[in-house]
Amino acid sequence: MPFYEFRCHTGHTTERLLPMSSDTRTTECQTCGDEANRVISAPAVAGVDKRKARLVEATQKSAYEPAVVNSVPSSGNRRATPVSHNPQHAKLPKP
Ligand SMILES: [Zn+2]
């Protein structure tokens, strides 16, 4: 059974050992007794690449809390579309 992490509104973190089939979304905070909501976090498995763990965590988080962006994310090092300067290519039909 995996540990699930819960966080209350005050910011306390509580861990509970629950079966994977459990759909428990809230529990009682062990520190203040308030309701604590389940937090999506990467599993604590030894030997996992930290970059992969961050990617998994970001992917899981975005499933519930999509990030608000102001522009389309860059796709990295894109090369510009090659442009032909051959005058005969200008006569070809445009898509
Ligand atoms: Zn608390």
Within-domain flag for 16: yes
pLDDT at 60: 81
CA of 36 to the centre of ligand 1 (A): 7
Q: What band does 71 get if pLDDT is binned at 50, 70 and 90? A: confident
Range of the domain at 13: 3-39
CA of 33 to the centre of ligand 1 (A): 6
CB-hemisphere CA count at 13 Å for 83?
2
Around ion ligand 1, residues with a beta carbon closer than 5 Å are 8, 10, 12, 29, 31-32, 34
Place of tokens 């970059």: 51
Within-domain flag for 17: yes
pLDDT (mean) for 20-29: 87
pLDDT digits (tens, 9 = 90+) for 28-42: 999 999 999 998 876
Q: Please count the structural domains in the chain.
A: 1
CA of 79 to the centre of ligand 1 (A): 51
Q: What band does 26 get if pLDDT is binned at 50, 70 and 90? A: very high
pLDDT (mean) for 47-55: 78
